[in-house]
């Protein structure tokens, strides 16, 4: 019997976005996730090229959850020839109707804006990664299945979904392929997570693929009541300063968790009368999905808790612009890493205000605007303008939808015994290395792999994974901070540094010398290139 199972990693390796794994059993090929890369411009460019595999040869997709870094390239997959089913939970399918369509609209709008730039006159036009129509077509491929029930997504693949405790509808994926047992964690939620019970799943696998977003850190465990007290303190402090409290928030799950706590605080009188604006059409649609599933969610009492007098759902652009004149309000807007959406509009109008507060409540990936602000930038560039950072910058870690190191280790322990290899994915280098070190300390004989994008492995029952192909150098070089991040930091600080030079003549001299340095470097590189040709 052919017991070969191959596994290829096409994303979320040494980075936290772009989740995509290809499994091949010799008879059929499936993907677990097909996510969008997010972060630096170089990393996002990985979304624009062709897939590293032929989408027409993929028989099915099994989707862990609806976050765009796990689902956001499904429309491109379908537009490129994929004809199969996208298996997921029913609530994930309901969320994807809005998530994918919104992503398509964003790609179309971003492309149109870039093509209008004056410095691109005469250049070939950009094309969107996919359109809203592509997104709607992809959504029609969704096929809902219940957790803990076996299904066969493709010939020779048997699968079950298990609660991952991460967001509404999230699941870990159990695969039984040619007698080889595999568990893909998806994104795992922490203890004391609003709305959802803790992650679940069976024990005894040949291979595990586990996320490591927080693989290098342990959070102080807090109860729901303690978390609300922390949020209350931040809201009250921000309102006392007189400005707004701006919270960059992912439209899916994080916004609804924050609303749950803000509404509970309002009901108790702790922040009575403070207006709460959710300026994200997508978040408001997602909140509607949560309301439909309210009877199945924890902490809601089985009712729609989002119907509350001080909660205002902002829909159109005119309403959003009117918030420019507001003070003393809580404003939640997407995206959570400040890479797009209406949050950039609110940052542009509040970062320079000393009386405003920016509160980060989620992970900020390398290269993202949120990470740049959080790491102490004095000036940032938003939509072509330099914006001074004078607002209070604050952070709460207790809203993470990801398990920390201890919780990840506990989840892996509960899946034991593992007779083959443990793959660590969906993490930055420090997180990956932190988890690898802990796993090896606990069990030195365990085979722990940290794959690169593009690497392939043979998986067999009862034996460590064997690498069969090396990774993609181009993809590896796109991970992390890129030259465009450095360029943005340089240009935003250049004006300030030039202004400190004593007179105009000296400032002009500094500019001329910088220009000469760049010219001489370009000439040096060209001479080296010519020498190599000779």
Query: pLDDT tens digits for 145-204?
Result: 999 999 999 999 999 999 999 999 999 999 999 999 999 999 999 988 999 999 999 999
Residue 1's pLDDT band, with cuts at 50, 70 and 90, is very low
For the chain, give every domain's residue range. 5-218+401-477, 224-395, 486-512
| Contact present, 404 and 372 (Cβ < 8 Å) | no
Helix (H, G, I), strand (E, B) or coil at 510: helix
Helix (H, G, I), strand (E, B) or coil at 313: strand
Higher pLDDT, 523 or 24: 24
pLDDT tens-place string over residues 228-257: 999 999 999 999 999 999 999 999 999 999
Instruction: Return the sign of the alpha-carbon dihedral for residues 109, 110, 111, 116.
Output: positive
pLDDT of residue 40: 78
The Cβ-side half-sphere exposure at 512, using a 13 Å CA radius, reads: 6
DSSP characters over 484-498: HHHHHHHHHHHHHHH
Residue 350's pLDDT band, with cuts at 50, 70 and 90, is very high
pLDDT tens-place string over residues 43-53: 888 999 999 99
CA dihedral 161, 163, 166, 169 (to 10 degrees): 60
pTM over 0.75: yes
Quick one: 5-218+401-477 is in which CATH superfamily?
A: Ribonuclease Z/Hydroxyacylglutathione hydrolase-like (3.60.15.10)
CA 183, CA 111: separation in Å to the nearest integer? 38
User: Which of 336, 450, 314, 332 shows the shortest CA–CA distance to 400?
Assistant: 336
pLDDT tens-place string over residues 450-481: 999 999 999 999 999 999 999 887 777 777 55
Provide the CATH number for the domain formed by 224-395 in this structure. 3.40.50.10890
pLDDT tens-place string over residues 86-133: 999 999 999 999 999 999 998 998 898 888 876 666 778 889 999 999
Looking up tokens 């205002």 gives 312
């Amino acid at each position: 019997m052919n017991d070969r199972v191959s596994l290829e990693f096409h994303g979320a390796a040494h980075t936290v976005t772009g989740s995509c794994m290809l499994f091949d059993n010799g008879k059929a090929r499936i993907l677990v996730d097909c996510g969008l890369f997010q972060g630096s411009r170089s990393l996002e460019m990985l979304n624009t090229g062709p897939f590293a595999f032929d989408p027409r040869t993929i028989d099915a997709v099994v989707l862990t959850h609806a976050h765009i870094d796990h689902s956001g390239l499904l429309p491109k997959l379908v537009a490129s020839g994929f004809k199969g089913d996208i298996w997921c939970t029913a609530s994930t399918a309901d969320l994807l109707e809005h998530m994918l369509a919104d992503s398509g609209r964003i790609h179309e709008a971003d492309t149109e804006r870039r093509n209008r730039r004056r410095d691109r006159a005469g250049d070939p036009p950009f094309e969107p990664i996919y359109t809203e129509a592509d997104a709607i077509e992809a959504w029609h491929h969704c096929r809902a299945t219940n957790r803990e029930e076996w299904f066969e997504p493709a010939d020779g693949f048997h699968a079950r979904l298990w609660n991952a405790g991460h967001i509404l509808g999230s699941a870990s994926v159990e695969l039984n392929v040619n007698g080889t047992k595999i568990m893909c964690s998806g994104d795992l939620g922490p203890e004391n997570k609003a709305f959802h019970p803790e992650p679940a799943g069976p024990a005894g696998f040949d291979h595990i693929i586990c996320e490591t977003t927080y693989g290098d850190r342990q959070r102080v465990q807090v109860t729901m009541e303690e978390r609300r007290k922390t949020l209350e303190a931040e809201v009250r402090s921000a309102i006392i300063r007189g400005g707004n409290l701006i919270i960059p928030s992912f439209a899916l799950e994080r916004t609804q968790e924050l609303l749950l706590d803000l509404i509970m605080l309002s009901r108790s009188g702790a922040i009575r009368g403070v207006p709460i604006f959710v300026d994200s059409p997508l978040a408001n649609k997602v909140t509607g999905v949560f309301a439909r599933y309210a009877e199945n969610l924890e902490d809601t009492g089985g009712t729609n808790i989002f119907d509350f007098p001080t909660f205002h759902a902002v829909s159109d652009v005119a309403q959003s612009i009117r918030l420019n004149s507001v003070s003393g309000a809580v404003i939640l807007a997407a995206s959570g890493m400040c890479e797009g959406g209406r949050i950039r509009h609110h940052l542009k109008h509040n970062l320079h205000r000393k009386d405003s507060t920016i509160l980060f409540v989620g992970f900020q990936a390398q290269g993202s605007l949120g990470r740049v602000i959080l790491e102490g930038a004095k000036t940032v560039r938003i939509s072509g303008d330099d914006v001074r950072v004078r607002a209070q910058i604050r952070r709460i870690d207790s809203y993470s939808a990801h398990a920390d190191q201890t919780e990840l280790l506990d989840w892996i322990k509960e899946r034991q015994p593992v007779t083959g290899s443990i793959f660590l994915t969906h993490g930055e280098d420090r997180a990956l290395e932190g988890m690898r070190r802990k796993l090896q300390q606990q069990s030195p004989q365990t085979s722990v792999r940290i794959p690169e994008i593009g690497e392939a492995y043979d998986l067999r029952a009862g034996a460590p994974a064997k690498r069969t192909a090396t990774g993609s150098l181009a993809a590896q070089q796109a991970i992390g901070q890129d030259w465009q991040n450095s360029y943005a930091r340089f240009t935003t600080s250049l004006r300030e540094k030039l202004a400190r030079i004593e007179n105009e003549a000296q400032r002009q001299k500094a500019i001329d010398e910088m220009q000469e340095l760049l010219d001489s470097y370009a000439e040096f590189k060209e001479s080296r290139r010519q020498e190599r040709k000779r």
